[in-house]
């Protein structure tokens, strides 16, 4: 089957420009004026994200984590429906679940002690104008940094920014299939370490450090 690769989302485009501006203001102006010069091989995160997260406590208090929208649109709900069975079968009192979108919260019933859907608001980028989506969600990244494993289902496309963010937060991604682990040909050739939902999930420090090195090398303009 022919693989489809995806262009930058609006948020990734904003982060690309911010990373370039942090690195070199002249390059930023060039990329801003000449969109054709933008290289979309790797998703880039600005320094304010990964430098802030480096100061977090990475001690793993949470086994499995998912924070995000579910019924935000039909495509996202279809791509993420597999996590419902996973949550039912694997989440414990040591897990963390938070559906963030308003559609999911309507008539919602808590799934257990690990479910914070109705206890916290959460930040939903798609419920905000594009200009306001470019913010650092401290609570979201704190929880990922405290988690051994993060569910990284696809969104409205087959890839998800949550996959990169799990790498950044030293949490091992769990996906439904390998196509959820990249959005470009260049990213498909990186040796990310992750688990499929159907596999046995063993937390491995060597995988965490391996993934974090890949993130810094390919998804930042780290000096």
Task: With beta carbons less than 8 A apart as the criterion, state whether 149 and 94 touch.
Answer: no
Pairwise CA distance, residues 68 & 46, whole Å: 21
Domain ranges of the chain: 45-218
**Structure confidence at residue 36 (pLDDT):** 56
For 76-120, the DSSP string reads HHHHHTHHHHHHHHH--TT-EEEE-SHHHHTT----STTB-TTT-
**Structure confidence at residue 2 (pLDDT):** 44
Residues lower than pLDDT 50 in the chain: 1-2
Displacement of CA 136 from its chain's centroid (Å): 13
**Structure confidence at residue 52 (pLDDT):** 96
Displacement of CA 49 from its chain's centroid (Å): 12
Query: Rounded to two decimals, what is the model's pTM?
Result: 0.91
**Structure confidence at residue 102 (pLDDT):** 93
**Structure confidence at residue 26 (pLDDT):** 56
In this structure, which topology does domain 45-218 adopt according to CATH?
Rossmann fold (3.40.50)
Cβ density class 133-166: b for 16+ within 10 Å, e for less: bbeebeebbebbbbbbbbbbbbbbebbbbbbbbb
**Structure confidence at residue 38 (pLDDT):** 79
Task: With beta carbons less than 8 A apart as the criterion, state whether 41 and 184 touch.
Answer: yes
């Amino acid at each position: 089957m022919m693989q489809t690769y995806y262009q930058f989302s609006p948020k990734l485009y904003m982060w690309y420009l911010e990373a370039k501006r942090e690195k070199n203001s002249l390059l930023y102006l060039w990329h801003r004026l000449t969109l054709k010069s933008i290289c979309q091989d790797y998703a880039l995160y600005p320094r304010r994200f990964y430098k802030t997260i480096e100061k977090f406590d990475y001690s793993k208090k949470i086994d499995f984590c998912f924070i995000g929208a579910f019924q935000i649109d039909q495509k996202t709900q279809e791509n993420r429906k597999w996590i419902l069975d996973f949550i039912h079968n694997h989440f414990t009192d040591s897990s963390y679940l938070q559906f963030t979108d308003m559609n999911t919260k309507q008539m919602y019933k808590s799934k257990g002690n690990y479910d914070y859907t109705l206890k916290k608001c959460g930040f939903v980028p798609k419920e905000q104008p594009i200009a306001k989506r470019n913010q650092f969600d401290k609570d979201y990244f704190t929880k990922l940094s405290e988690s051994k494993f993060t569910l990284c289902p696809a969104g409205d496309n087959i890839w998800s920014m949550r996959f990169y963010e799990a790498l950044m937060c030293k949490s091992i991604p769990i996906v439904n299939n390998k196509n959820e682990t990249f959005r470009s040909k260049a990213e498909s050739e990186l040796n990310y370490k992750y688990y499929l939902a159907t596999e046995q999930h063993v937390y491995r420090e060597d995988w965490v450090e391996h993934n974090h090195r890949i993130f810094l090398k390919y998804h930042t303009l780290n000096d």
